């Protein structure tokens, strides 16, 4: 067997053994490995959301696998374990950022043995972890795909509760909508990500990050899109290849935006913008210029040729066109001025 095959087999075996020893809730809690028979140019690691499971990233993981990526979707620490969890017996979620950070750095290192460049993605708390890693290791992370990162709640009162109260909270799911993972948690476990999110916001103001795609939704009642915009604007000043999009309220895309099972009937949209970004090195100024001119009736190929961007466009034109149509909705205050890079 090749070094690559040995590394992949050892990673899968060790992960399976560890998860078997823990005792998982069900098969949706298992870490997922979508691996080709050879190293790939790009590897992507997806971190699922707080209290959720790897199942959350299977659809987008499969899309990236079909595009030629090796894909890892690890189970976060303390998640996915079988048990009769309740207020009196809460699930064993970490209450310190260090455990998540060590976990993330470990998986970043593992991914490097499976391909040339590593991208990181995540939703909610998993997205916060991906953002922290992009700041901590900007030279090792090729791109960060951040879906609704948890940087703070939607209002000051919610943040106050998270910061000060040790209550047990139980999720409320809409009828017919699947909820992967634990049904509830104690507030100190969520406080961990609030602390990590604040660190991300502070560090992004003063140090370069790996290129980041930030995706929000106006229908998200769990996290604050204003904080996402603040992170984007801070990161953009030092890293011009950052992109941002906020899904319009009319699309009714909630916080758990990665799957149809969790209630997003347009789960194809996060996948499209992620694929377009992952395969592109276009700056925010370049992509907004393409988007604006496309809305004026010009063709993509003509615009790209005039701007000398033809060789830098991603090969998946369908994903790019979807992304450009979405970016066309960006508020003017988030678009670069003509004299900006």
16-74 tens-digit pLDDT: 999 999 999 999 999 999 999 999 999 999 999 999 999 999 999 999 999 999 999 99
The pLDDT tens digits of the residues spanning 172-223 come to 777 777 888 899 999 999 999 999 999 999 999 999 999 999 999 999 988 8
SS3 label, residue 223:
coil
Report the distance separating Cα 124 and Cα 126, nearest Å. Answer: 5
* 281 pLDDT higher than 60: yes
The superfamily in CATH containing domain 3-278 is Alpha/Beta hydrolase fold, catalytic domain (3.40.50.1820)
For 236, how many CA atoms within 13 A lie in the half-sphere containing its CB?
Answer: 20
Output the pLDDT for position 84.
Answer: 94
Compute CA distances 182 → 24, 170, 214, 228, whole Å: 11, 9, 26, 26
Report the distance separating Cα 95 and Cα 340, nearest Å. Answer: 42
Q: To the nearest whole number, what is the mean pLDDT of the chain?
A: 93
Q: For 254-258, 300-304, 333-337, which range has the lowest pLDDT when averaged over its residues?
A: 333-337
* Number of residues in the chain: 341
Q: Where along the chain do its domains lie?
A: 3-278, 282-341
* 163 pLDDT higher than 80: no
In the chain, the percentage of residues whose pLDDT exceeds 70 is 95
* pLDDT classification of 166: cutoffs 50, 70, 90: confident
């Amino acid at each position: 067997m090749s070094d690559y095959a040995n590394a992949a087999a050892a990673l899968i075996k060790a992960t399976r053994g560890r998860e078997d020893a823990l005792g998982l809730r069900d098969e949706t809690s298992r870490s997922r490995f979508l691996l080709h028979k050879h190293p790939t140019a790009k590897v992507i690691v997806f971190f699922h959301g707080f209290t959720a499971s790897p199942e959350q990233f299977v659809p987008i993981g499969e899309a990236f696998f079909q595009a030629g990526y090796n894909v890892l979707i690890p189970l976060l620490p303390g998640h996915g374990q079988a048990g009769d969890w309740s207020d009196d017996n809460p699930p064993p979620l970490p209450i310190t950022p260090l455990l998540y950070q060590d976990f993330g750095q470990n998986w970043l290192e593992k991914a490097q043995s499976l391909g040339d460049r590593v991208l990181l993605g995540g939703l909610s708390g998993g997205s916060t972890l991906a953002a922290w890693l992009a700041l901590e290791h900007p030279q090792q992370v090729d791109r960060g795909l951040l879906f609704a990162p948890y940087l703070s709640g939607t209002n000051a009162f919610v943040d106050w509760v998270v910061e000060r109260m040790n209550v047990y909270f139980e999720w409320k799911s809409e009828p017919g909508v699947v909820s992967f993972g634990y049904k509830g948690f104690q507030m100190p476990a969520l406080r961990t990500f609030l602390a990590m999110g604040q660190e991300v916001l502070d560090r992004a103001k003063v140090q370069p990050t790996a290129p980041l795609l930030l995706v929000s939704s106006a229908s998200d009642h769990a996290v604050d899109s204003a904080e996402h915009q603040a992170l984007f604007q801070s990161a953009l000043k030092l890293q011009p290849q950052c992109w941002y999009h906020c899904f319009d309220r009319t699309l009714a895309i909630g916080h758990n935006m990665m799957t149809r099972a969790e209630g997003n009937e347009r789960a194809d949209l996060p996948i499209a913008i992620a694929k377009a970004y992952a395969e592109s090195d276009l700056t925010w100024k370049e992509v907004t210029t393409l988007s604006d001119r496309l809305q004026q009736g010009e063709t993509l190929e003509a615009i790209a040729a005039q701007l000398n961007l033809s060789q830098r466009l991603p090969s998946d034109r369908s994903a790019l066109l979807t992304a450009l149509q979405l970016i066309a909705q960006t508020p003017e205050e988030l678009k670069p001025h003509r004299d900006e890079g």
